[in-house]
Structure 1
């Protein structure tokens, strides 16, 4: 029983696919957060510009 547990643990220890997938997931989440922030700031900026232009018309 103990030998099977150690073998299974050693196999999981050498398997790096899950770690790589997790890293890619974190990178994708960070990129998504940056995009959302940029679009939000751009929307606020455009809204104020259109308000200014509308007031001048």
Structure 2
């Protein structure tokens, strides 16, 4: 029998690295998207 328990850890680390890289690449777009969403929520909630 082979021990394949370490493969899951490596996969999780690789997925996290890719997600962090994507966040860093698209940081400005993500910030503007979140700001737009919060501005819309704020303006629509004042009408309620």
Q: TM-score, normalised to structure 1's length?
A: 0.45
Q: TM-score, normalised to structure 2's length?
A: 0.52
Q: Which has the higher helix share?
A: 1
Q: Which runs of 5+ in 1 are unaligned?
A: 1-9, 47-57
Off by >6 Å, runs of 4+ in structure 1: none
How many residues align? The count is 30
More relative contact order in 1 or in 2 (CA 8 Å, sep 6+)? Answer: 2
Give the superposed CA RMSD: 2.0
Larger radius of gyration: 1
